[in-house]
Copies of this chain bind each other. A is one copy, B any other.
């Protein structure tokens, strides 16, 4: 940080002009100041008044530290305060150092006690209460750790893709029709016209392949799904990727493999403390994530674990068992499930090739990626040929007129392309062992929650 940055971190008081004051020190840097006088700023995370002596646990963006003083008039927890004092090594204190307070200033006093004691919160305790008071509970160390990890994960996602020549795009979230056909859309009144919240940037990222060849977007998407489960959100952050001039879906899976490896490498460098706090482990990403076709995956789960899989896809238990198999046999937390049948994929999924080189009418080049028992990605190669797309729309018995906004761009020489999307909150939650995906979003929206 430069000098100007330091200057901005405190309020002026008439007695002590800013330029004469100590620069602010972050709690994580106390180890560089043993025996010195420092100035800290932050929130009263916890406090204890033993009469003659007062303890304040100060929380700043970088951590918490115990401060001890005498004759202090302690404000309510969550008040923002400034502490000036001497750093002293203290093996039992969090972080290994304590600050002996010489000056204590309340910057902004809390006027009510927090409805939830921030240091005592635990995952899974009164989740609705935690979310009702999210404006203050989100300050909790574990709560913010999840969001911090997500910020790093998203930055790593972007940075890696830019090194592979991808361009970031921003596409409309107000749309006239749904990318997947029309179900599960939130209606908007757009100047009296009917419109919807986008459930995916699917079409737009495909259009932009015609512009930049390789694109990505990090933006919210919307699913008006009625279910209230621990793995769904009605608004979530979608990490979308689309790449052109591919050979087949293998190129897309290879990209995602490299991307995940890059993300985990960065998290090991930046976020180990957050993983430690949450008792979670950053996974190793194999150089080649195992692949198994959906057909073989269903058979494996039935044969090895005796689980009968319903439907056309994998059910949640089958996803869990398949991941258990690859964790045990190959030490991989990830597995690609490939070659999804047409019946389980949207009309734009590209058909797979038969052994004779012709195109399959049954099997697509669609894949899912499972991680620690749950699907975190859907992806695949898309149809790029206009005639093939129109045939597929007819085969799905969809109305080509209502999809004309989608099909238009395929008249203009779209190259073979494919992509995938990762739900940022779901990946964050699985990485950190958070049981409910809502805690991986700052202010979740679900079937019943529109505030805060």
Contact = CB atoms under 8 A, between A and B. Distances in A.
A394 interface: no
Interface in A224-276: 224, 226, 234-235, 237, 243-247, 250-251, 254-255, 258
A386 interface: yes
A416 B155 contact: no
B107 A148 contact: no
Nearest to A254: B4
Contacts of A188: 186-189, 197
A108 B414 contact: yes
Given A170-B220, A188-B188, A219-B220, A213 B245 contact: no
A186 B186 contact: no
Contacts of A443: 171-172, 204
A112 interface: yes
Given A148-B212, A222-B174, A413 B8 contact: no
Interface in A96-121: 107-112, 114
A167 interface: yes
A234 B173 CA distance: 11
7 contacts: A8-B246, A8-B247, A61-B214, A78-B210, A80-B415, A136-B210, A173-B235
A168 B270 CA distance: 14
- Count this chain's copies in the assembly: 2
A47 interface: no
A147 B187 contact: no
B204 A442 contact: yes
A112 B408 CA distance: 10
Given A170-B237, A235-B174, A258-B4, A212 B245 contact: no
Contacts of A183: none
A119 to B, nearest CB: 14
A171 B78 CA distance: 22
Interface in A42-75: 43-44, 60-61, 75
Interface stretch (A10-18, A335-343, A364-372): A10-18
A354 B385 CA distance: 69
A357 interface: yes
Nearest to A444: B172
A212 to B, nearest CB: 5
Given A148-B212, A413-B75, A174 B450 contact: yes
Contacts of A44: 413
B176 A450 contact: yes
Instruction: Choose among A8, A214, A234 the residue with the greatest number of B CB atoms under 10 Å from its CB.
Output: A8
A168 to B, nearest CB: 4
Contacts of A220: 170, 172-173, 219-220
Contact of A212 (B61, B135, B237, B357): B61
A441 B170 contact: yes
Contacts of A247: 7-8, 10-12, 18
A277 interface: no
Interface stretch (A158-166, A289-297, A304-312, A322-330): A158-166
Contacts of A164: 1, 5
A207 B451 CA distance: 13
A447 B169 contact: no
A139 interface: yes
A207 B211 CA distance: 38
Contacts of A176: 450-451
A210 B43 contact: yes
Contacts of A148: 167, 212
A173 B174 contact: no
Given A108-B413, A226-B191, A147 B211 contact: yes
A24 B170 contact: no
A450 B414 contact: no
B107 A415 contact: yes
A246 to B, nearest CB: 6
